[in-house]
Structures are given as structure tokens and as C-alpha cells.
Amino acid sequence: MWNIEPQLDDQNKGPAMAPESSVSLAKRGMYQALNKDYAGSSYHKGHLYPVFHTNTQSCADATFTLTNAAPQDPSLNRGQWRKMEKDMAQWLKTKCLPNRAYMVTGVVPSSDPVVTVKNSTVNVPSHFWSAYCCLDNNKKPLMSRGYLVPNSNQEPQNMTVTDLDVKLSKLYSTNFMVFGGKCEAEVRVRVMVPRCTTRCQKLPNPRLVSRCRPVCRRIQRKLELVEQRRAGKGGRRQYYLFNSYSFIQLADIVTASSRLFKL
């Protein structure tokens, strides 16, 4: 059952979500969508903050508020978007936690032309997007990715956060940065390559030096492969799949080398 945030329609109400009946009929729905707005329409209530990112029943229940939903194509909601949310949650669980992670999601309202749900003023978004940022033990960006998809049954584009910022800036017609430009993990990987070689040479133990150099070569080689894909070899789909997978591998290498060699 989807609830509302009653304080948006009636300032005398508390901040906790509640059934629609908690607000008088005269004020209900003045500043937020209601269940009736979706009734008989061809759209689902698409979660913004994903239920996959919750770990208790009470947290899961809290995502079922209509302020955490937007009209979404049913096929997208049940299919590719759901799969992306699930895969993202699984990756953060296995590759990031217990380190700190941030996840942001949003929509691009339709504007030209404006599309609304049938018999309602609720805007139907033209696009859905999501991004995450995983930090290492030193609170530096370890891994970040962005996803963008039109509100139709399509596979979300998997891209860097920088690329997502560029696309969203065009769609919003204003400068836009999901994490304020402070969580671009690719930049850190590129910085790691020359730093790795320099610091390896300064290690006091010859055994550590011999173990450190191959790590630097692995980082360099992985980065070269990713840049080849960025140049267009292998096609768009292969680039995105390879790019995402390679940077996950790079994130693992950078994490391990940072802890072992203090890079």
C-alpha cells in the first residue's frame, strides 16, 4: 500500500508517512500525487529510492510513499530498470561494503511536450537516472557509475559519472553534477598509475618492490584496455559492458594495492 507525506498538504500534520485518509479531502493531493492519479493509467509507480537498497522490513516499507515514486513504463519497471537496481545493490554489497557508499536517483520531467498521467497533472518523466559512489577506507572515490534510460522498455546506459553529468546537464538545460564533481573514480585510477611506479621505488623492502611493480603494470594495462574501448573499438554495447567490468577489476586492484603498499 502506497502512503503519502501528510505534512506536504497540511502543515499541522506530522512528518511520518501515513495513509491518504490522514488528510482531509479538501487538502489531499494539493502538493503531491495520490493513488488515484495512477488508477486506470498505463504507468506504474516507479520507485526512486530502490527497495533493493534496504535491509529491514521497516526500511523497505518506508520506500512506499508516493513522493518516492514517478510514473514509469511498466515494462521498464518490471524489466531492465529493476535488473539495474538489483545488480547495483549486489555490487555495492559485495564490492563496497563495509566502506561508505552513496546512491542518488532521479528523473527528468517531460517538457517538450509536457506529458502527464491521464486525467491528472502528474508529470510523466522523459528519463530515469541513477548513480552510486563507493569510497575507500581513506574516503577517496573507489568506484562510481551512472545509469540513464528513457522512460520506455530499454536497457539503461551504463556510463561514468562524468558522462552522466554531461547528459543530464543537456536534458535539464543547466549545469548539473550528481556528486558535485567529487566522485569520479576514473580520475583516481589514472592518478594511481604514475603514483604507483614512483612509490614502489621508495618501498624499503626489496620484496615489496618486486611485488608492487606487477600491480602497477596490471593497473596500467587495464587502464589501456578501457581507453581502447572508449576510443570506440568493439562497439557501443561492448564498450559499456567492458568498461564497467574493467573498472570493477581496477577498483579491486587499487583497493588491495592501497592497503598493502600504502599507495
pLDDT of residue 112: 81
Both 76 and 123 in a single domain?
A: yes
Q: Please tell me the distance from the alpha carbon of residue 244 to that of residue 129, in angstroms, as a whole number.
A: 16
Read off the CATH number of the domain in which 154 is found: 3.40.570.10
* 115 closest CA partner among 150, 79, 77: 150
Q: 113: cis peptide before it, omega within 30°? A: yes
* 201 closest CA partner among 189, 214, 212, 190: 212
pLDDT exceeds 50 at position 260: no
Confidence of residue 229 (pLDDT cuts 50, 70, 90): low
Contact 6, 34 (CB under 8 A): no
Contact 135, 101 (CB under 8 A): yes
pLDDT exceeds 90 at position 173: yes
Report which of residues 234 and 11 the model is more confident about: 11
pLDDT exceeds 50 at position 96: yes
Report which of residues 188 and 88 the model is more confident about: 88
pLDDT exceeds 90 at position 1: no
* 242 closest CA partner among 256, 225, 257, 254: 225
Which residues constitute the domain of residue 101?
A: 71-172
What's the gap between Cα 120 and its chain centre? 29
Residue where one domain finishes, among candidates 139, 172, 205:
172
In a domain, 101, yes or no: yes
Confidence of residue 97 (pLDDT cuts 50, 70, 90): confident
Residue where one domain finishes, among candidates 137, 172, 207:
172
Type and span of the H or E element at 141: strand 141-150
pLDDT exceeds 60 at position 239: no
Both 167 and 230 in a single domain?
A: no
Q: Averaged over 217-224, what is the pLDDT?
A: 69
Both 87 and 140 in a single domain?
A: yes
10 Å CB burial of residue 218 (0-12, 13-18, 19+) is: middle
In a domain, 81, yes or no: yes
pLDDT exceeds 90 at position 94: no
Report which of residues 117 and 236 the model is more confident about: 117
The single-letter code of the amino acid at 105 is T
- φ/ψ bin of 180: left (φ > 0), alpha (ψ from -120 to 50), beta (otherwise): left
Residue where one domain finishes, among candidates 103, 137, 172:
172
DSSP label of 92: I
Both 153 and 235 in a single domain?
A: no
Both 191 and 151 in a single domain?
A: no
Q: Averaged over 225-251, what is the pLDDT?
A: 47
pLDDT of residue 237: 38
Q: Averaged over 186-209, what is the pLDDT?
A: 63
Query: Of 11-15, 71-75, 144-148, 237-241, which has the strongest mean pLDDT?
Result: 71-75
pLDDT exceeds 60 at position 256: no
Strand, helix or coil for residue 143: strand
Both 210 and 163 in a single domain?
A: no
Q: Averaged over 76-96, what is the pLDDT?
A: 91
